[in-house]
A and B are shown apart, each in its own frame.
Chain A
């Protein structure tokens, strides 16, 4: 599903070149639930950006679902994001002026999907996350947990090949956090491929497999924390 081979990525901060990822290789099989664990500044966000096609590596090879993506144009990357990847963000990233329904529908507008099918998918996924009674509420009228569930419904409506969750419980209280993790685990059991990025060992423990990022390097074992 995901094959990262010898990925390098660095950022420029003024005149200094800051290495973010060094020789990272990662293989995620279909229907796998992998968590990427690392402290802040370790490079896990950069890794997430690259896996999520929000950014391209400086060098190395990235094959997503059988497709090479490291040389894609901006528009091709948009297309891949829309069709293959679903993001669950720490800040939910819902559009504040749109209702729950419109937020879930929004990504579908960028693909040629008929109005009936859009409606069907939106209603189904909102029901799946238990928000059938909140479809015309705006994010400001929803609790954090509910907002994150709208975000998950938005992901599911797009029917992605993989789901990328970046600290999905970071902004939530423990009860809502547990609810969200239960939903994510449910999605995995339904056959989705999930990559979860977190610094929280308890969250990471719920995944099938854990990998560690430390100072831009990836390992299967906890080296030194």
Chain B
């Protein structure tokens, strides 16, 4: 009997194709909004977190923010004595005007030690890295990022070329591997010079920041604590530095994207709710239109629950069908989006099925009132309506 009644509901939906479609449209749009927005935000979030973890969760960054305090590179070296710390790379950063023939621009100049490459896990594509003897001899050499190489040298090979940083001539000894954009700013558009050279050029005696690689995944927290203790001792001012770890950034990012996802899903859910109200509205119209049918059914023995079930079924089929159509359309839309935007945003099926479940709940909730109204009709009165 349940199957018969469901078939009946389906039939009455098909009898009013245009109306049913318009009613479902509310649900279709609602489901699409939820599924597409959540899938795309989560896709973007996964991209961001991936790029953060690419930078290494064992990486700790300490930044000296107060120009009054100074921590020397030699002091930083003593950080490596801590068992939780694998290596520490001091960095001096500044910004200078760089010229090459007629090309010029302002670039970020970074003074580094050889440890920088291992701590940041960066390699060169051509030439050589900055080595210990460069530091020792304060040589005017530099390693440049790929963007810098393209900007200044065009298609020419930058290795063994010369550029002018500030007032001095530097020889380019290496070009870094392309890193692409990343959250922490790309090294592609930076110029790296020996630490000691940077100290001399900028007149800066202390480090700007330190990159620290923890000894292992499990010693990250210990390494952070050691670094903080060390910097407190060295500066005697705990406001003058900040220590960050990628996993903290990752957690924060996760929180942010979760909040974003929830927010968007919430907004989209409102449109689902509006769709539900549309279903209720049309079901009420349908009950009025079919008063006579209800009367006939009751006269031949239908009980309240039979009528109730019939109308509830209709509401649920409308909303569930809308949900399924919405999910399929979302799938197409997301495929198109990820093709067009060349990102790997995939449909979030879990959200999709949750949305369909939510649709069914909407069908039951918003179908209940019209169904109850239909079931309470008195047969004599219903029969007398023509």
Interface residues of A (CB under 8 A from B): 49, 52, 54-55, 74-75, 78-79, 81-83, 87, 89, 91, 93-95, 97, 106-107, 109-112, 154, 158
11 A/B residue pairs, CB under 8 Å, sorted by A: A74-B304, A78-B301, A82-B302, A87-B299, A87-B300, A91-B386, A93-B299, A95-B293, A106-B297, A110-B297, A111-B301
B11 touches A97 (CB 8 A): yes
Measured between C-beta atoms, what is the minimum distance from B14 to chain A in Å? 10
Q: Which residues of B contact A81 (CB under 8 A)?
A: 298-301
Q: Which residues of A contact B293 (CB under 8 A)?
A: 95
Which A residues touch B304, using CB under 8 A?
A: 74-75, 78
* Chain A residues whose CB sits within 8 angstroms of the CB of B302 once the complex forms: 78, 82, 107, 110
Note all chain A residues with C-beta closer than 8 A to B99. none
Known: A54-B379, A54-B380, A95-B293. A78 touches B12 (CB 8 A): no
Residues of A within 8 A of B386 (CB): 91
Choose among A55, A79, A83, A95 the residue that contacts B380 (Cβ–Cβ < 8 A).
A55
Instruction: State the majority secondary structure of interface residues on B.
Output: helix
Q: Are B300 and A107 in contact (CB under 8 A)?
A: yes
A74 and B379 alpha carbons, distance in the complex (Å): 10
Within 8 A of A (CB), among B344-386: 379-380, 383, 386
Question: Given the interface contacts A49-B380, A54-B379, A93-B383, does A106 sit within 8 Å of B11 by beta carbon?
Answer: no
Whether A158 lies near B303 (C-beta < 8 A) is no
User: Given contacts A74-B304, A82-B301, are A109 and B1 in contact (CB under 8 A)?
Assistant: yes
Across chains A and B, which 6 residue pairs bring their CB atoms closest together, nearest first?
A82-B301, A107-B300, A78-B303, A93-B296, A110-B301, A54-B380
B55 within 8 Å of A (CB atoms):
no
Instruction: Using A97-B11, A97-B12, A97-B15 as known contacts, say yes or no to A110 and B300 having CB atoms under 8 A apart.
Output: yes
> B200 on the interface (CB 8 Å rule)?
no
Q: What separation, in Å, do the CA atoms of A83 and B5 have in the docked complex?
A: 20
Closest to B375 in A: A74
C-alpha gap A141/B291 in the complex (Å)? 23
Using C-beta atoms within 8 Å of the partner chain, give the interface range for chain B.
20 to 34
Binding site for A on B (CB under 8 A): 1, 4-5, 11-12, 15, 292-293, 295-304, 306, 379-380, 383, 386
Closest to B382 in A: A54
Bound-state CA distance A107–B299 (Å) is: 9
What 9 new A-B contacts, CB under 8 Å, besides A110-B300, A110-B303? A54-B379, A78-B301, A78-B304, A87-B299, A89-B383, A93-B299, A109-B5, A110-B301, A110-B302
Query: How far apart are B379's CB and chain A's nearest CB, in angstroms?
Result: 5
For B297, the chain A residues whose CB sits under 8 A away are 95, 106, 110
- B13 → A minimal CB distance (Å): 11
**Nearest CB of chain A from residue B118's CB, rounded to whole Å:** 77
Judge whether A78 and B296 touch: CB under 8 Å.
Answer: no
Smallest CB separation, A167 vs chain B (Å): 13
The answer on a CB contact under 8 Å between B298 and A78 is yes
Contact check, B380 vs A158: say whether CB atoms are below 8 A apart: no
In the bound complex, how far is the Cα of B61 from the Cα of A164, in angstroms? 92
- A87–B5 Cα gap in the complex (Å)? 22
**Residues from chain B with Cβ under 8 Å of A89 in the complex:** 383
Distance between B3 CB and nearest chain A CB, rounded to angstroms = 10
Rounded to whole Å, the gap between the CB of A97 and the closest CB of chain B is 6
Min CB–CB distance B378 → chain A (angstroms)? 8
A109–B296 CB distance below 8 A: no
CB of A154 within 8 A of CB of B299, answer no
- Smallest CB gap from A157: residue in B: B300
Q: A residues within 8 A CB of B300?
A: 81-82, 87, 106-107, 110, 154, 158
CA distance A91 to B299 in the complex (A): 14
Contact between B379 and A109 (Cβ–Cβ < 8 Å)? no
Which A residues lie within 8 Å of B5 (CB)? 109
Q: Decide: A79 near B301, CB < 8 A? Known: A54-B379, A54-B380, A93-B383.
A: yes
